[in-house]
Chains A and B, each alone.
Chain A
Amino acid sequence: MPKCTINGKEVEVKEGSSIIEAMQVSGDRIAHYCWHPGLSVAGVCRLCVVEIEGNPRVQIACNTMVTEGMKINNTSEKVKDTVKWGLDFHLINHPLDCPICDQAGECGLQDQYMEYGKYDPEMAEAKVKKHKVVDLGPTVVLDSERCILCSRCVRFTEEVSKTNELGLFNRGDRTEIGTHDGMPLDNKYSLNTVDICPVGALTSKDFRFRQRVWYLKDGDSVCNGCSTGCNIKVYYNKEGLFRIKPVYNEQVNGHWMCDSGRNAYKFVNRDARLLKGVARGVEMAPGAAAKNANEVLKNTAGDAIALVLTAQYTLEEYEAIIKTFVEEFKTKKVFFWINNKETFDSFDGLLSRGDKNPNTKGLLKVMEKHGITATWNDLSAGLANGSIKTVVVAGPENQVVFPEYNERLKELSKAQNLIWMQSGKNEALSALTGNVWIIPMKTFVEKDGTFINYSGLEQKIKKVTTVVSEALTLTEAALLLAGKNLAMPMTAPFMPTNQRPDQVELEHRKKNEFVFRRGSL
């Protein structure tokens, strides 16, 4: 473990650490663009310069290893001047379109110029013009003029996704990022290039121009797109969720996440959600619908009741609902609805797993704890011979990963009474008539709990925001189904969107919050 001195402080670092890594340990700030801890060292932005005692020239911190006794400094005038000029070199051909740039507010160039910049620019020549609005593929748009050629995105496609779509073309100040001939940027991890782009050169087609980032709040959570359980940050405001980005976790996902996981925000938003509970064709508040279902459950208790669970809820929710059914309704007919059976165990070698549920291990753990051994065949047989009369389903939050949804719905709707709980809208479900109860549920960003990922790692999630305040967690639903009460009254009628204080009115959705608050000019 070599010891070195950084700006006068002694620091001990891991063997083989670079100076820039040592500076992360010491907490010293250092300008940099091309260095990224998840990628190889390129050493091209030339901003992370330091002075090393005994060396007449400034050195780059990303490609210089710490040695025992090394004395490093990045606060000298020589270093500051080099960084100032380095930033000026970055800016001389960069367009000053910050007001319309999608990266404004989280741009590395803005941030670092504010901290280290040379506020007396001397470039009087015309800027180099490059390509704008380059369609790189299905998810990403490039603005070449904004690109500072840090090559992070190129290295990502070479080293992480291993798809090699991107390259640096041309020479000198005509150099541009681009895709190799006839090859769009189209891989399962393409949006990571947008995350690691330090400027607004690569933007997500899905997110660009939809919100200014300073109108968004963020909260940490765990992706529920598959059993990997990538750590994520969810960006939202009162209009709903707008994007999901990965959060570094060495044990789980490193720095990355897949593109499909990023879509998880879409089924959370109000437009995609079930808002009203239904009890035998009558619309009511979700809680009221759940309470209403208690009557039929009471009357069919025992083996005539079946509980069907998807692996998309939290460990605590499984504990609550299974316990309720085993103890209150005296049934062990609890069934695991497995989706994507053929690909359930597949893995792409990076992050994405065939099991598209966040908590399969959690569900199986609780089922095992309660000695549940029932199989889907038992359920099918029970439905066929009429011994199972009432079926309660905790359906998927993310219906996209349940391609056989309609088929299962058809099978389960053979029961005399069907009580279906889920968060998202579904036409086939809404079309059911008769003894059907539909109970809107909360999504993963609206509740606390635990997911257990494919490796058995328990990860806590915390409530990030509320999108449908009337919706229930599975725990709340379990209480209401058992005829118990929650602290909050469940008899209130469904509250229309425009009467709720925390929701933006529909006609203002397209506008940003600032415009909404201050009104039109």
Chain B
Amino acid sequence: MAETKVLTEFYHLPEYQTLAGYKAKGGYETLPKALKMQPQAIIDEVKASGLRGRGGAGFPTGMKWGFLPKNGEPRYLLCNADEGEPGTFKDRMMMERAPHQLIEGMIISAFAVGSHKGYIYVRGEYVFPIECLNKAIKEAYDAGLLGKNILGSGFDFDLDVYRGAGAYICGEETGMISSLEGLKGQPKLKPPFPAVQGYLRKPTIVNNVETLAAVTYIVKDGAQTYRKHGTEKSAGTKLFSVSGNVAKPGNYEVPLGYPLLDLINKECGGMKPGRKLKAIIPGGSSAPVLTAEECAKANLDYESLAGLGTMLGSGAVIVMDDSQCMVDMLGVLTHFYAHESCGQCTPCREGTGWLNKILHSILEGRGRLQDIDLLVKVADNMKGKTICALSDAAALPVLSFVTKFRDEFEFYVREGRSKVKGTTYAEMHH
């Protein structure tokens, strides 16, 4: 088994960014077929494919579409391209190299769910992907692929790119909706769920870039063909963005269920010369870390990783070798989450800041042994107690790092320096 390029087959071709280049490789051939289908048939096909949301939560896409009310109320299709989780950069590649692939997927999805207006919400820092998308959208409008009466089908769909002002939590679907509405990017209470009351209080579907792009392939080849890849509960292929101490970091498309170490060793060229694998965060920085021993048992699918107490998340695989200080690494993560907490729910607002302060007390040589247990207690009381999952995202790495690498934390507290690097925080960073 090796890389299986379903979505990324033509990403190496520069012309694939353009309408002509995309069409030359069969692009927009699925759209006329989809527009002749019954919308419910498309939803059924997506359900049958077993496609799960590729943004991180892994919720079944067809089921999410099925939650829309059947009353014909106006509804919106939002593409979540915020991609703010540390280590995640898969959607960026798709937007830069295959923007029409996303647009075609969105038109088909909009037709299926009955939406006539869509937005691609992109994180503000993604300047080049935004340029690529805008260019592609203009091409699509000029070619009658967007706007009124698409390809003479009678179906209208308008699409815009929205550049977010930059906050991690705008990648959470209700936070994204708040931001799109012009409000501070803060998640909203659920229920009501966006499918019932979302953007502008209208029914709204929010899907990730990769999810929407996959819809085209499901409609084109059929659910069963898509299901040939992956496992029973995790169907299809998935883009993994691999970063950290590997020889060849980058984006790789493999079928779900692919062994984690095969991804590292076969696709990414293994660890850097002379280094040994120490740990991997398999699904973006919010996922619990796996030790090297656990990595050997891990397959890249939802159920295998859940069995190991972690998650597939967005597919951002962060690899750490034996030179990595886990206390320092956790310090970076807690700082990130303390910075990005929206400030709405108390356990998250205060807890993320508290975790960060404790971690930095330890890193700066002021730690107490009881601080290690305190980290666990604080994280435990943040988990599952807030509106959105940011609190969990901050707590889970803390719990897994402290539990699995406790000796490094205890050494740091006792000695005031890193067990791995042998240096103090100041020496490490200045």
Q: What residues of chain A have their CB less than 8 Å away from a CB belonging to chain B?
A: 41-47, 49, 57-58, 63, 81-82, 85-86, 89-90, 92-93, 122-126, 128, 148-149, 151, 167-168, 170-175
> Is B343 interfacial (CB 8 A cutoff)?
yes
Q: Which of A122, A148, A168 has the most CB of B within 10 A?
A: A122
8 chain-A/chain-B pairs, Cβ below 8 angstroms: A46-B347, A58-B385, A86-B347, A125-B354, A125-B361, A149-B346, A172-B340, A173-B338
- A45 near B346 with CB under 8 A, answer yes
Instruction: Determine which of B184, B189, B354 lies in contact with A63 in the assembled complex, contact meaning CB atoms within 8 Å.
Output: B189
- Give residues 314-351 of B contacting A (CB, 8 Å): 338-347, 349-351
Which 5 residue pairs across A and B have the least CB separation, nearest first? Answer: A175-B343, A173-B353, A85-B381, A125-B357, A172-B341
User: In the assembled complex, which residues on chain B have CB atoms less than 8 Å from the CB atom of A81?
Assistant: 381
User: In the assembled complex, which residues on chain B have CB atoms less than 8 Å from the CB atom of A167?
Assistant: 184
Given contacts A46-B386, A173-B338, contact A149 B349 (CB under 8 A): yes
Instruction: Determine which of B186, B346, B354 lies in contact with A86 in the assembled complex, contact meaning CB atoms within 8 Å.
Output: B346
- Give residues 363-420 of B contacting A (CB, 8 Å): 368, 371, 374, 377, 381, 384-387
Given contacts A43-B387, A82-B381, A125-B358, contact A89 B339 (CB under 8 A): no
Instruction: Determine which of A47, A58, A171 lies in contact with B340 in the assembled complex, contact meaning CB atoms within 8 Å.
Output: A171
Instruction: Determine which of B352, B354, B358, B387 lies in contact with A44 in the assembled complex, contact meaning CB atoms within 8 Å.
Output: B387
A160 to chain B, nearest CB (A): 18
Bound form: Cα–Cα A172–B168 in Å: 12
User: In the assembled complex, which residues on chain B have CB atoms less than 8 Å from the CB atom of A44?
Assistant: 344-346, 387
Residue of A nearest to B169 (CB): A171
Bound form: Cα–Cα A423–B216 in Å: 81
Residue of B nearest to A150 (CB): B346
- A171 near B339 with CB under 8 A, answer yes
> Is B79 interfacial (CB 8 A cutoff)?
no
Bound form: Cα–Cα A316–B350 in Å: 57
User: In the assembled complex, which residues on chain B have CB atoms less than 8 Å from the CB atom of A42?
Assistant: 189, 344
Residue of B nearest to A62 (CB): B189
Interface 1/0s, chain B 282-321, versus A by CB < 8 A?
A: 0000000000000000000000000000000000000000
A181 to chain B, nearest CB (A): 14
- A172 near B357 with CB under 8 A, answer no
Instruction: Determine which of B349, B368, B374, B377 lies in contact with A173 in the assembled complex, contact meaning CB atoms within 8 Å.
Output: B349
Instruction: Determine which of B184, B186, B349, B361 lies in contact with A172 in the assembled complex, contact meaning CB atoms within 8 Å.
Output: B349
Residue of A nearest to B351 (CB): A89
> Is B95 interfacial (CB 8 A cutoff)?
no
Tally chain B residues at the interface, Cβ within 8 Å. 33
Q: Which of B342, B346, B361, B368 has the most CB of A within 10 A?
A: B346
- B340 near A41 with CB under 8 A, answer no
Q: Which of B338, B341, B358, B381 has the most CB of A within 10 A?
A: B381
- Give residues 31-81 of B contacting A (CB, 8 Å): none
- B347 near A175 with CB under 8 A, answer no
Bound form: Cα–Cα A90–B385 in Å: 14
Bound form: Cα–Cα A128–B344 in Å: 16
> Is B137 interfacial (CB 8 A cutoff)?
no
B245 to chain A, nearest CB (A): 29
Residue of B nearest to A175 (CB): B343
- A93 near B347 with CB under 8 A, answer no
User: In the assembled complex, which residues on chain A have CB atoms less than 8 Å from the CB atom of B340?
Assistant: 171-172
- B377 near A122 with CB under 8 A, answer yes
- Give residues 184-202 of B contacting A (CB, 8 Å): 184, 186, 189, 191
Known: A43-B189, A89-B350, A168-B186. 11 other contacts (CB 8 A): A45-B345, A46-B385, A47-B346, A81-B381, A85-B381, A89-B347, A123-B354, A124-B361, A125-B361, A173-B341, A173-B352
- B345 near A46 with CB under 8 A, answer yes
Bound form: Cα–Cα A353–B184 in Å: 35
> Is B167 interfacial (CB 8 A cutoff)?
yes
- B342 near A148 with CB under 8 A, answer no
Residue of A nearest to B353 (CB): A173
User: In the assembled complex, which residues on chain A have CB atoms less than 8 Å from the CB atom of B381?
Assistant: 81-82, 85-86, 89
- B347 near A57 with CB under 8 A, answer no
- A171 near B342 with CB under 8 A, answer yes
- A174 near B347 with CB under 8 A, answer no
Bound form: Cα–Cα A81–B346 in Å: 15
- A168 near B184 with CB under 8 A, answer yes
- A173 near B343 with CB under 8 A, answer yes
User: In the assembled complex, which residues on chain B have CB atoms less than 8 Å from the CB atom of A170?
Assistant: 343
User: In the assembled complex, which residues on chain A have CB atoms less than 8 Å from the CB atom of B351?
Assistant: 89
A289 to chain B, nearest CB (A): 61
Residue of B nearest to A47 (CB): B346
User: In the assembled complex, which residues on chain A have CB atoms less than 8 Å from the CB atom of B167?
Assistant: 171
